[in-house]
A and B are shown apart, each in its own frame.
Chain A
Amino acid sequence: MKGMSSLNPQSDNQIPHLFARLLNKLQVAGDTIHTPIEIDEENAQLLFIKSVIDGNQLQNTIIKPFFELASEKRFLQYLDSLPNKIEIVDEETLLVELTRGMLLINVQQRYVLIDIKKVNTDSVQITSLEPTIYGPQGGLSESLETNINLLRQRYAEPSLAVEITTLTDRSKSVLAILYDKEVVDTEVLDTVRKRLGQLNNPLIQSTADLELYLNQEKFALFPSTLLTERPDRIVYNLAGGKVIIMLDGSPQVTMAPAVFFDFMVSMDDHYHNFWTSISTTFLRYAGLFTCTVLPALYVAIISYNPDVIRTELALTVAGSRIGVPYPSYIEVIFMLVFIELLTEASIRLPKAVSATATTVGGLILGTAVVEAALASNIMIIVVSLVAISTFVIPINEMSFSVRATRFFLLLYATLFGLAGVIIGFVGIIMYLANKESFGKPYLKFYWKNRSEEIKGGLKK
């Protein structure tokens, strides 16, 4: 496009009413372009926002053919047969479409809307949240179409249904619901649709954001939908009958329903030998158990029941606590908060600096704390073990929840001792067993072929 000065004053009286109204509303955009194209007596008018359309496409598919055809009638026919033509619904949506990269053409008193949007976000990103050793290394992109494309490539089933809607918030993001029509649980699908319809938040920017509002629980501790960036995990869950929710502009998707065990599966489990994957799974659950229970157990044993551990160990622990001025629970909370800070800091910092933070925090401070007798050696071991085992949990959301859970257990242990640890543990199980994800029980074993025993078991 060459003549890109603003409105041509000569053609002012030729502007159709619709264009005038739209132009009026789009004034603030700044880069709105309204331009007529003419050859001989034939003319057409174009309206678009420059920054969101693809210039090449505009040149090749609209302007060039117009001059080649040199006939309004033929040009209209040509436009009508373009595959990226979009139906015009009403003026409001038209505005939204324009801001998203559509081109509005007026030929022979008719309006045609063509999609020539320019997307800069369709490059596939490398998985960063859930790395695996084997399996695909590429994740999703930030463009919805590319993502659907990626999934279709991996899941070439004709029964894969894609429902595209638009969010009603300010972002007006496009949202896609994907499911396999043959295996999907219709109850869940209806719940998802219903909840999407009920959304009334002003701004939803990412899938994680959307996920929070979809849960419809004010004080949730555990995630009830699963956020992932791995196409293989998505496909695996699609085949398992789950509903996938995709938001344009987000390199993660979320899926429902999610049960507790979904969060403990790493895609690597499917790429390993039987015994290897069994042992890594076991290791993971052991890590989960360690990082929730260990701090609580430490306090309970040190402060309430030192007779549990062997005499030699008790003496070593007592020895390492010589000079530590605080009761054990303050020691634990202090060190746990310290570790949480360290983790948080290494997430927020640029990658280049985060190594320094870990070294300073972990090594230097850790040693100094023991030297200064603010915490015992054993405590440092416990805290490090807890920190490491937290990272074993494959899905990040779950590991954040578990980090919060262990403070609850720690409180219970501080108040009630060793019995408190077990009582609190059963309490957590009770909470999880009572939790639901889109109408499905959250913590429940799904033995094969037994699902019909209990009303409403999840179809596998």
Chain B
Amino acid sequence: MSFLTQFRPQFWKAGESSSGPFRQMFNYRSIWQKAILLVSMATLLPLLIITAVDYNYTEKSIESENILRTLRNGSNIRRTISAFLQERRSALTFIAKDNNPEQLYKAVHLQGVLNNLQESFSGFVDLGVINQEGKQVSYVGPYSLEGKDYSNQEWFREMERQNFAISDVFLGYRNSPHFVVEAKQSLADGSFLVLRSAIDIVELQDLLHGLELSGRADAFLINRQGIIQTPTLYHGDVFARLPYKVPPFSDRTEIREELNQDGEKVFVCSAYIPLSPYILVIVKDKGELMKPWRDTRIGLIWFLVVSVTVILLVVFGFTTYMVNSMYLLDQRRLATLHKMEYSNKLASIGRLAAGVAHEVNNPLAIINEKAGLIKDIFTYSKPLQALGQEGQNLDATITRQLDSILSSVERCGKITKRLLNFARHMDSTIETIDLTAIVREVLSFLHKEAEYRNITVNVDIASDIPPFKSDRGKLQQIFLNIINNAFAAMDKGGRLDIHVKTLGAAGVSATITDNGCGIAEADIGKIFEPFFSTKTKQGGTGLGLSITYGLLLELGGKVNVSSKVGEGTSFIITLPLEPPATTTEK
């Protein structure tokens, strides 16, 4: 907390300490809060909105780019696989049409055809010819399947209705995953024969796995029941079930988003391969696909965080600086107003005093002369001498009364002269100063109060004080204010010490020490601030010391304060031998 208070700007407590007619013009705290809120909003909102829009837009565009690429992949692979199957089918059709049944039934001939076939096309494992009854009439290949009866197998029955067929992948008699391609050839006698060839799925597998796909892609075929037909990378072996829903039929490449077994998002791209039982499936890991986006995103978020921090810091710092400047200006304005009022007041008091003194001085002079004349008459002509002893006594009595009148007049004269002096030094002029006289003069204004309150005043002025130049009127005010404050701090029987000594070329120093109530340590730093007062309730304006401080600055002087609560306070005033040039501009 104390760490924070160090950074608390000066205006923070402004609202609490100001009261009375000289209030602050604004509530600085609320201005500060509003300014920070508004400026932050005005700068941060557009930034946040733009960042959010950009974030979404970038995410969407990267996602759609990935979707498009996957779809393009899917449609390409579909075409490749479709072409592969088409090729195999056309080859068989061509063989069926190019050879008459007699040739085909002969194993030797068939072997020659298979050899040609294998040389021209990859993947053909064997070749068999099945007659209308479903019996494999002839067969060439690695297995001995001749004479095998397919008549009650479903695919054979299907053949009665169509010209071609491609089977699902199965193990069959060969016990190795393969599929078969069949082509029907109608014969002149109305019957038909079927050319049947097994194709190893290795061929398809090579096609599928030879693709360079991004995003942990897995491309494979399934049949329409969702049984996996070709080996996969991440989705189990052949004949396993596809962990996702089988896509509904569509003659276009489709893509959709699904959750995999681990609950991660994946893109499932599917395409029905025409004239086959297969559906091409490409599964891509969305997280993997969006990886470049993640990097961009982290960059974006960092940028946002840094921007927001910098903006907030700038807004905070600048607002604080501005509001504080406003506050300080306002304070200065108030202090100037006060000072003007104060000096106006002093000036009018001065004029009044001078006027009164002048008016009183003339009648006083008359009293002085009249009484003096009466005394002269008694002194020079001695009119009562004739009355003898009684006359002498009367003469002495009258002379005593006259002396009393004259001394009273002298006292009055001193008072009016002091008033005139005070008024005369209202105007700012630099002159050679006799500090002793000033201190005595100031004390003469206060000695009655000192007597009433039984305050002892000790004045100790060193004899070697050099004559120095300063403003007499300002010095009077400075001493008057500080000594007045000291008096206010003391109870009955207090003790005030005024000690003046020379500092050589550095100037003159005056120490004014009282044994009054002292100043709390927390307040010492503030006593010269305008409007700081511990006596606001008793009518203090909190300006006395601030004006004193201002006057001292004008004279090029300094003031130091040391105080202990309950023990007393010391003001140490240092005055230069020559005031700074600016004060003489008047």
A in complex with B? no
Q: Which residues of A contact B (CB under 8 A)?
A: none
Q: Which residues of B contact A (CB under 8 A)?
A: none
